Structure 1
Amino acid sequence: MTPDLLSRRQLLMTGAAVLAGGASARAHNGKVHVMIENLGFQPADIDVKAGETIEWINRDPFAHTATVKGGWEVLIPPGKSATHVATADDTVGYYCRFHPNMTGRIKVVA
């Protein structure tokens, strides 16, 4: 392998490791980001601290929700984003009310 190709490969491997570890959800602005694409939450499982903001960014052409059964719901219009501030009680599973096969999990950590 050429040095240039090796550097690119190492960069890709590092990026894959970061994605696998869930670190990609946390951005520099303190929000925990969840992308919605192709009828899925990415990442589906996130760790947050109480008081942190979760931001869902909808890249699909139709609306979705982040719905906690018996709890709260966030409507995320197509091409838009919506937020929820995590509380200590937010270790929950959630789903899209419009597409119930879309599921995610929020775990509140110290």
Structure 2
Amino acid sequence: MWPGRLVITVSSLLTLALPLPLPASAGEATPNTGAVHIENFTFAPATLTVKAGARVTWINRDDEPHTVTSASTPRAFASGALDTDAAFAFTFDKPGTYPYFCAVHPHMTGVIVVK
């Protein structure tokens, strides 16, 4: 009877030792989210591809204010000024290509591709 208990105990310990799936961290994209960091006067990544229905969040990591402003007319989205560590999010419901820029620093550009 003792060897049977040993097998159960070892089996239980092995089951407990298996790694568990971890949730995605804030910076990782999941099927319904995406992240763009504003750093060194650039949008990173400059082009982000997401699925329709995805929520994209921009986070300003610069010491200067920036905006996230749709280049389309009429504007699909516009963040207003984002100070350091401020964030702006927008949900892209329809497939398409969405170019954007910083209204404070127009040389800063990016594109969201929605499939």
TM-score (norm. length: structure 2)? 0.65
**1:30 Cα offset (Å):** 4.2
Give the number of the structure whose residues are more often helix, by fraction.
Answer: 1
How large is the RMSD of aligned CA atoms in angstroms? 2.0
Q: In the comparison of the two structures, how many residue pairs are matched?
A: 85
Write the distance in 1 (CA, Å) between the matches of 2:66 and 2:87. Answer: 10
Write the distance in 2 (CA, Å) between the matches of 1:30 and 1:108. Answer: 11
Aligned counterpart, 1:74: 79
Larger radius of gyration: 2
The 3 A distance-change label for structure 1 pair 89 and 28 is: closer
The 3 A distance-change label for structure 1 pair 29 and 105 is: closer
The answer to whether the 8 A contact 1:74-1:84 is kept is: no
Aligned counterpart, 2:93: 87
Aligned counterpart, 2:34: 32
For structure 1, which runs of at least 5 residues remain unmatched after alignment? Answer: 1-24
For structure 2, which runs of at least 5 residues remain unmatched after alignment? Answer: 1-26
> AA paired with 2:78?
E
Aligned counterpart, 2:109: 103
Q: 1:17-54 CA deviation, whole Å, 9 max, x = no partner?
A: xxxxxxxx743594201011000000000111121110
Write the distance in 2 (CA, Å) between the matches of 1:28 and 1:95. Answer: 24
Instruction: Calculate percent identity across the aligned residue pairs.
Output: 35
The answer to whether the 8 A contact 1:39-1:102 is kept is: yes
Write the distance in 1 (CA, Å) between the matches of 2:31 and 2:51. Answer: 14
